[in-house]
Amino acid sequence: MKISVFGTGYVGLVTGACFADLGNDVVCYDIDEQKIAALKAGKVPIYEPGLEELIQRNAAEGRLIFTTEVAEAVRGREVVFICVGTPQRTSGKADVTYVLQAAEQIARHMDGFLVVITKSTVPVGTAERVARVLRETTTRDFEVVSNPEFLKEGAAIKDFQNPDRVIVGAESERAREVLGRLYSPIARVNRPILFMQPQAAELSKYAANAMLASRISFMNSLTGLCEKIGVDVKDISRAIGLDTRIGPRFLQASPGYGGSCFPKDVRALVDTMESLQLNANFFRAIDQVNELHKKSHLARVQRFVPDLHGKTIGVWGLAFKPRTDDIRESPSITLIEQLLEAGARPIAYDPEAAENTRKVFPAIEYGRTPYDAVRDASAVVVMTEWDVFRSVDFARVKALMTQPVIVDCRNIYDAQEMVRLGFHYAGVGRPAVEAQVPARTLG
């Protein structure tokens, strides 16, 4: 099929590359000339495992091209995906200005029947607003479809190729037939395509992210209690996760959720409900719990290092999750801000996200290895569970630090093993423990 993708951000690039890999003719459009030039040269502006190779291969084989020309991206196409940004306003509302602008551009250049698909995460009712823009701008025939994405950063290609489900919000049988053909290679591997009304599809994305965010906030709400009574939150997670009505996914205590989806989508759902005079207290609480929890980790550091002024503190992990360079709403950003306010000297290391973090904190120091970030440190805080942190040389880490303190906000280490290695250890939702070997005076 002849497909166009408006927007070459995270969703647009993954969508375009993956559809091209299924044998389709794909054009990706963006107004950013530098980004398009880089993509034509095979350079991908985001880190997502496997994406660069996928783009380079399909571009080389002629199935994937990049352009800044709207006409080239629209004329002769059968399907156009709108994958532009929907930034959050101060009220929490998702701003769909770019979505509607894309719809107007598409309408001005379409030369025949076209299926216009909103792939961006958009508030309920956006498909109708897109249709209204198209009707006001063109006399050509069209269908508007909501087809929300469910791509996890770090596993987006796998999620596209093997989705739990494909959701299609379409009014007409004609639109359903086009989307059925588009996704037929995925449907052949027994992945269900769920057809529903566009508003139901739009709400499904918000509901899914709010549910996952609620599970994270639920477990993080228990961490303080677990620490107070001296139990391990991992035991609680296992105990309730084995209940088949609950299941184990997204029940791990953590530094809090971040990224481009959960925070923004929960707030947008709150805004949508309140705009309809509905009680959104439950969903507002999910966000409030998360924001408070992100600010709680400084106290775990101060458990062992009460006076942070002038102290070096290592920060392992900057991205909000591993296998991405995305730092949006990352708990690490909150922690670094707090460390700086307390007069500490943070040194950070992340395999992929350091360059993005430099734009936020240009003055702090960044290590080239995990060991660089613990040199002369009074504590090291694990904020992202990159595999590289699981098997470090702890004898070397301890020798480099002025105080052997590990604050494990991802609970990736065994507390007793850390104590055996001579570290004072604090996790999230776990009792803090002190090493039984001689250590330098804390403080």
* Domain contains 434: no
**What's residue 441's pLDDT?**
47
Same domain, 308 and 373: yes
Give me the residues paired with residue 346 across strands.
313
SS3 content of the chain, % helix, strand, coil (to 5): 45, 15, 40
- Which residue among the candidates 18, 226, 261, 409 is catalytic per the annotation? 261
DSSP at 294: H
* Domain contains 93: yes
Same domain, 175 and 71: yes
Q: What is the mean pLDDT of residues 16-31?
A: 98
Same domain, 24 and 94: yes
**What's residue 127's pLDDT?**
97
Structure-token pair, residue 85: 């940004």
Q: What is the rounded CA–CA span in Å between residue 232 and residue 212?
A: 22
Q: Could you read off the pLDDT of 293-342 as tens digits, one per residue?
A: 999 999 999 999 999 999 999 999 999 999 999 999 999 999 999 999 99
* Domain contains 261: yes
**What's residue 188's pLDDT?**
73
Kindly tell me if the per-residue pLDDT of 284 is higher than 70.
yes
Count of C-beta atoms within a 10 Å radius of residue 69: 12
Kindly tell me if the per-residue pLDDT of 134 is higher than 60.
yes
Count of C-beta atoms within a 10 Å radius of residue 277: 6
Among candidate residues 294, 317, 338, the one where a domain is terminated: 294
Q: Could you read off the pLDDT of 170-196 as tens digits, one per residue?
A: 999 999 999 999 999 988 767 789 999
**What's residue 51's pLDDT?**
97
* Domain contains 435: no
Among candidate residues 136, 167, 196, the one where a domain is terminated: 196
Left, alpha or beta for 315 (phi > 0: left; psi -120 to 50: alpha)? beta
28 carries an active-site annotation? no
Percent of the chain whose pLDDT exceeds 70? 98
Same domain, 264 and 305: no
Same domain, 213 and 249: yes
**What's residue 439's pLDDT?**
45
Q: Could you read off the pLDDT of 207-249 as tens digits, one per residue?
A: 999 999 999 999 999 999 999 999 999 999 999 999 999 999 9
Contacts of 337 (CB under 8 A, 6+ apart): none
Same domain, 217 and 120: no
Confidence of residue 442 (pLDDT cuts 50, 70, 90): low
Structure-token pair, residue 121: 């995460």
How do strand 25-29 and strand 2-6 relate by DSSP bridges? parallel
CATH code, 406: 3.40.50.720
* Domain contains 27: yes
The total number of structural domains that make up the chain: 3
Kindly tell me if the per-residue pLDDT of 75 is higher than 70.
yes
Helix (H, G, I), strand (E, B) or coil at 146: strand
Same domain, 347 and 403: yes
Structure-token pair, residue 40: 């034509």
Same domain, 394 and 265: no
Same domain, 42 and 188: yes
Q: What is the mean pLDDT of residues 102-122?
A: 97
Q: What is the mean pLDDT of residues 115-137?
A: 96
Lowest mean pLDDT among 57-71, 91-105, 180-194, 313-327: 180-194
Q: What is the mean pLDDT of residues 260-276?
A: 94
Among candidate residues 245, 271, 294, the one where a domain is terminated: 294
Answer whether 88's CB lies under 8 Å from 80's CB: no
Q: Supply the range of the domain harboring residue 394.
A: 297-427
Q: Count the helices and strands in the chain (H runs, E runs).
A: 18, 14
Same domain, 335 and 351: yes
Q: What is the rounded CA–CA span in Å between residue 327 and residue 310?
A: 26
Give me the residues paired with residue 313 across strands.
346, 379
* Domain contains 95: yes
**What's residue 370's pLDDT?**
98
Q: What is the rounded CA–CA span in Å between residue 216 and residue 41?
A: 40
